[in-house]
Amino acid sequence: MAVTLPISKTILSVADVEDKFQLFPCTAPTFFREWQDNLPELNEIEKAALDRLLVRFAAHRRRRRGILAEGAVDKLMISPLLDLVGFYEPEYEVRTEESVEFALESDEEVLRGRIDTLIVRDCFWILVIEVKRTIMASLAMPQALSYMCNLQHGIPSFGMITNGDEFIFLKAIAQPTPLYSASRSYSIFSLLAVKI
């Protein structure tokens, strides 16, 4: 009989993801260009909206002595960003606290978890978002990659992990060998210092 384990307590490192899901890092520079190439220019309205988000986030963060709960990061930063990029439009479905379950044949384990935010379009997972109340957003990478292992052949899965100050984007794809890659860490910390 399979043992059911929580992803958040079982998959604690990227090595755990690689071992359990056979998902491996890809270092090819062409694998994850989406976060670098052909990015649209922001218009003045978008820039003003982002400035408002930074000022608001900085004020709340300062009042809480630098530590905000996951729910606060979601309300102050993630939800407004999803609205700004159009993910609340009717063609997308927004799911929160989405339950996922993965049966691992080799270990006779079932891993369960809850995705903080999942954006779906036409039954395809568009974006997995994992928010952590932690000093380093990268600590959320094992959990987010585990959720992204719901790979469909040839269709990439994208993710974003954040603690509100740092943002890291992820890509995973099932090829002959399932592969993943991460963007560099984008930090708004220096921008926050200017805004307050």
Q: How far apart are alpha carbons 60 and 131 in whole angstroms? A: 17
- What value does the mean pLDDT of the chain take? 86
- Check whether 196 has a pLDDT greater than 70: no
| CA dist., res. 141 & res. 137, Å (int) | 8
Give the up-direction half-sphere exposure of residue 19: CA atoms within 13 A in the CB hemisphere.
9
Query: Does domain 3-35+70-188 correspond to CATH entry 3.30.160?
Result: no
Q: Sketch the domain layout of the chain as residue ranges.
A: 3-35+70-188
Q: Is the pTM of this model over 0.75?
A: yes
- Give pLDDT tens digits for 94-134: 999 989 888 876 668 888 999 999 999 887 888 898 888 77
